[in-house]
Amino acid sequence: MIVTLDGPAGAGKSTIARTLADRLGFAFLDTGAMYRAVTLAAVRNQGPWDDPTGLAELAQGCQIEMDESVVRLNGEDVSKLIRTSEVTSNIHYLADNPAVRERLVELQRAFAAGKDIVSEGRDQGTVAFPHAECKIFLTASPEERAKRRVLELQARGEQISVEEVLEQQNERDHRDSSRDVGRLEPAFDAIDFCTDGMSPEEVVERLVAIVSERSLRANG
Ligand code: C5P
């Protein structure tokens, strides 16, 4: 069974998708980490930022391996290195590139083949797995997402205001929602789920119930 979990940055998707996969005993795929890994390769290669074909070739040559908690780029554990702000601010060069997206979607499908999986991203229900049995589109209001992100950064010792986070978040949302391919949007058959005012535990409980109900329907 394939469960897709899409939605904007900061809706709590990663933690929730991971916990949901654990609870269901499913594999977990963090597709944002794949975009981050090819971006890290491009940062190290200094682009070529103004050459989409060159970037696509670079991505094509990247060997990406994913497991539950480790991301490997050409055999190197880059799980931490892909989370820097330099990577985040350059992702759009790779994520807006149709040839790069095509390659990563191929890898996502190969990863999911024959598995029960929770796959998390922006286009999992629309592009990567249009036939997924259960599609969730997870949202939260921009203010709530920004507040959560500030708390997360404070816990890591970084000081940043809600206003600053909100500005970066709006920019990222706009880019993610307006790209030509693989844009952030709910699949027509996705369940819209707003997490405002809910704890991560409550969200996971509710999602476990939704997936179980879908699974019964798919098998019945
Ligand atoms: O989920 P995360 O914030 O790590 O994703 C980083 C970026 O990768 C997103 O802002 C988005 O631009 C891109 N992405 C994407 N398609 C996916 C997953 C992530 O374009 N399926």
Distance 219 CA to ligand 1 centre (A): 32
Start-end ranges of CATH 3.40.50.300 in the chain? 1-26+116-220, 30-114
Q: Are 129 and 14 in contact, with CB atoms under 8 Å apart? A: no
H-state helical runs in 127-199: 142-155, 162-178
Backbone phi, then psi, for 210, in 5-degree steps? -65, -45
- Token representation of residue 77: 């554990």
pTM above 0.85, yes or no: yes
Residues in contact with ligand 1 by the CB-under-6-Å rule are 9, 31-32, 35-36, 91, 95, 121-123, 172, 176, 182
Query: 81 has which bridge partners?
Result: none
pLDDT at 172: 87
pLDDT at 84: 86
Fold for the domain defined by 1-26+116-220: Rossmann fold (3.40.50)
Minimum CA distance residue for ligand 1 atom 8: 32
Return the residue matching tokens 């709006």. Answer: 170
- C-alpha count within 13 angstroms, C-beta hemisphere, residue 26: 28
For residue 176, the ligand 1 atom closest to its alpha carbon is 12
Reported CATH class of domain 30-114: alpha beta
Distance 18 CA to ligand 1 centre (A): 16
* 9-65 pLDDT, tens digit each: 888 888 999 999 999 999 999 999 999 999 999 999 999 999 999 999 999 999 999
Length of the chain: 220
Measured torsion, CA atoms of residues 64, 187, 197, 213, in degrees rounded to the nearest 10: -90
Distance 172 CA to ligand 1 centre (A): 9
pLDDT at 158: 80
Query: 3 has which bridge partners?
Result: 118, 134
* 220 residues of the chain, pLDDT tens digit each: 999 999 998 888 889 999 999 999 999 999 999 999 999 999 999 999 999 999 999 999 999 999 878 999 999 999 999 988 899 889 999 999 999 999 999 999 999 999 999 999 999 999 999 999 999 999 999 999 999 888 888 888 888 889 998 998 898 889 899 999 989 999 999 999 999 999 999 999 999 999 999 888 888 7
Minimum CA distance residue for ligand 1 atom 14: 32
pLDDT at 154: 86
